[in-house]
């Protein structure tokens, strides 16, 4: 199963452009075509994305990746969890930065650091 971050990125890209080919999606995600296929297949298997056929103007069949109502709901849930996770990381980094600044302020004056 792809990580929630990968799921979220793929869902966002497919929602913005449902007509992306897997090759184009692969380039957007920065993944190999094989990994992209795995991600898309997992999203389809979960019922978050469905694959629809459509006719292109040159009479060839194309495909569109459409988020299902379940996919839209899951995207929102993943976004909330991802945001909470990033905010927690931000707080930890902010606290570490403050501690490091305090250490520098308390350090020996002869180091010439201030």
| Residue-wise pLDDT tens digits, 22-46 | 899 999 999 999 999 999 999 999 9
d(CA 26, CA 31): 5
Q: What is the CATH number of domain 4-107?
A: 1.10.10.10
Q: What is the domain partition of the chain in residue ranges? A: 4-107
For residue 51, the model assigns a pLDDT of 87
pLDDT at 107: 72
Choose between 93 and 106: higher pLDDT: 93
Determine the pLDDT at residue 114.
53
Q: What is the pLDDT of residue 50?
A: 92
Q: How far apart are CA 65 and CA 38, in angstroms?
A: 14
Interval 70-96 mean pLDDT: 95
SS3 62: strand
């Amino acid at each position: 199963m792809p990580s929630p971050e990968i799921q979220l990125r793929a869902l966002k890209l497919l929602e913005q452009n449902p007509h992306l080919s897997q090759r184009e999606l692969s380039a957007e995600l920065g993944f190999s075509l094989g990994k992209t296929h795995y991600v898309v297949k997992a999203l389809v298997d979960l019922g978050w994305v469905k694959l629809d056929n459509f006719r292109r103007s040159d009479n060839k069949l194309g495909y569109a990746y459409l988020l299902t109502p379940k996919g839209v709901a899951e995207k929102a849930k993943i976004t909330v969890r991802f945001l909470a996770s990033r905010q927690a990381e931000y707080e930890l980094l902010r606290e570490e930065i403050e501690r490091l600044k305090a250490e520098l302020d308390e350090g020996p004056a002869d180091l010439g650091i201030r």
